Copies of this chain bind each other. A is one copy, B any other.
Amino acid sequence: MLEAKVINPFLEAAANVLATMAMVQATPGKPFIKKDGAALGDVTGIIGITGDHQGSLSISFTKPCILQVMANLLGLEVTEINEEVCDAVGEITNMISGDARRRLEAQEIMLQGGTPTVVSGENHSITHIHDGPYLAVPFSTPSGDFTVEIAFNKQ
């Protein structure tokens, strides 16, 4: 099944990067289809994907979750979503994309990633424009939640 084969490595990569980089244990929840206008996060990293499949990946953090990630990453307390936080979210997004692409290479699926873009703003929502497989998965951590979304166009 194309969907699971291409999408699961991104979910595995998200949990792996958060655990490895930020010592945050993330538990995936039940995948969901978003309702129109649902608020998703306070800071989001987005990366475009090209190659054998064309799509986009986003990871949206609630403020408490990203502030804990920052504390673990840098060993210092951050209280606001500032430029440093945006840079870290971009780096995390890049690492998830890279980790997932390495996992997919083992299945001979070759993808390239663009450079990440980070959005900050309370309660923004994200819409992936696509006509193929799509998945949104909430992850819970002891310090709050984040959501990973992956969307692809049909081949």
Contact between B46 and A117 (Cβ–Cβ < 8 Å)? Answer: yes
* Identical subunits present: 2
Contact between B87 and A115 (Cβ–Cβ < 8 Å)? Answer: no
Contact between B117 and A126 (Cβ–Cβ < 8 Å)? Answer: yes
Give the size range of A's interface with the partner: 35 or more
- The A contact surface, by secondary structure, is strand
Contact between A117 and B121 (Cβ–Cβ < 8 Å)? Answer: no
Stretch at the interface among A13-21, A22-30, A51-59, A137-145: A51-59
Selected A-B contacts with CB under 8 Å, 6 pairs? A36-B83, A44-B119, A48-B56, A50-B113, A119-B119, A121-B122
- Which positions in A face B, CB cutoff 8 Å? 36-37, 39, 44, 46-51, 54-56, 58, 82-83, 86-87, 90-91, 93-94, 112-130, 151-153
